[in-house]
Amino acid sequence: MPRTDPLTAPATPPTATDARAAAAAVGGWQPAGDLPAPAYFAPPSPSAIVLDDAHGNKVLIAGGEDGARNALGGAVLFDPVERTWEGTGPLSVPRRLHTTTKLANGEVLVTGGLTGPFTLPVAPVSSAEIYDPAHGSWRATGALHEARYAHAAVRLDDGRVLVTGGLAPRDSLTHSALYSAEIYDPASGEWTPAAAMHDARGGHPMLRIGANRFIVVGGMLPVGRGLYTGLSFCEVYDPTTGPGGTWTPTGSLRVARKSHQATLLADGSVLVTGGDGAGRQDDWSFSVYSQWVTERYTPSNGRWSEMEPMTVGRSHHRALALRSGKVLVIGGTDDASFDVGYQNAEVYDPAANTWTPTGGMVTGRWACAAAELKDGRVLAAGGLVLSGAAAPDSTDVATGASELFAV
């Protein structure tokens, strides 16, 4: 059960580490203060947004959820110089499973999500709001045509924002995945329908892979109450063709994935890491554990190729493209039981196709917020620490701790 499931609270033992994890670690982690309150943030939305130089390169985190799965309405700023957190203007609507997107003018757009305390049926919202860093305040903007959560958002080349897929209630206990997409125009504050995807999906990474080309990678499809399957299907969006743009199917992942990450590499290819266990594999073996196999997409031929595997399988982790051209993968958990957050982190070198462990995080965590700062350090904040049988009273334990990684 994915952690984005609004109905059930899943619970993972870490997989055994590869012998490579014993190699000399690179870089290390240091504590960086605590959020005002414990919180976690379901991937794939990055959750942490680095503001512009004019606003001190501070990091904004808005909304999220607590250990009881209640939507949070607070917004906080991290000061990378002082290593401190402070509150800023709260959201007008508490949200979880929403998206956070930086606009071309430096403001931040928040869309959709679930609101209120954890109840059934769930309460999706269509509202959107914008954060103004100059005044530390939020203002309402045009509402989505369709309320959605666990969706994806990306800024287009012309400054507009594309929102795709996500989930919506099917009835009081189950959900449906959405095909639909919408585009937000910051100039008018309005949303217009975009071409629908070929495949309904939620919890899917979406990223830019070239001029006016954007890819959605895998994701999840509800198949019953609290039951989801991973997708291998991928498709590419071009906003310049037709009034609502067009979607074109492209090569499928070799392994169906949900709760994974997709990261753009310096050469324009895409690295996919982790994700919940896909069950039967291409070789007819069966795996219930999170994926350690990685794949790389080449836009020029639309194909995925298997790359060097990570040292451990992981889901609900974070993967960040660094200025060095390498990729840092942090934390996560295993979908066999969802019980502990990993301290483990590792770095991928695309040129050598190798993984190298870093020093472990101070606090093991999954579903955290993360961002690379302007000075090259990486911030990890919040996340889940314990869940299920690993928690003292079987209640999820979120953390407010944050830490910084530097080579």
pLDDT bin (cut points 50, 70, 90) of residue 281 is: low
Quote the pLDDT of residue 339. 83
> In the chain, where are the structural domains located?
27-406
What the block records as the tokens of 43 is 């991937």
Three-state SS at 40 = strand
Task: Give residue 22's pLDDT band: very low, low, confident or very high (50, 70, 90).
Answer: very low
The per-residue pLDDT for 266 is 96
User: CATH homologous superfamily for 27-406?
Assistant: Kelch-type beta propeller (2.120.10.80)
Tell me, what's the pLDDT at 13? 35
Residue 407 pLDDT grade (very low, low, confident, very high; cuts 50, 70, 90): confident
Write down the mean pLDDT value for the chain: 91
Tell me what pLDDT residue 5 has: 57
Query: Which pLDDT value is given to residue 394?
Result: 76
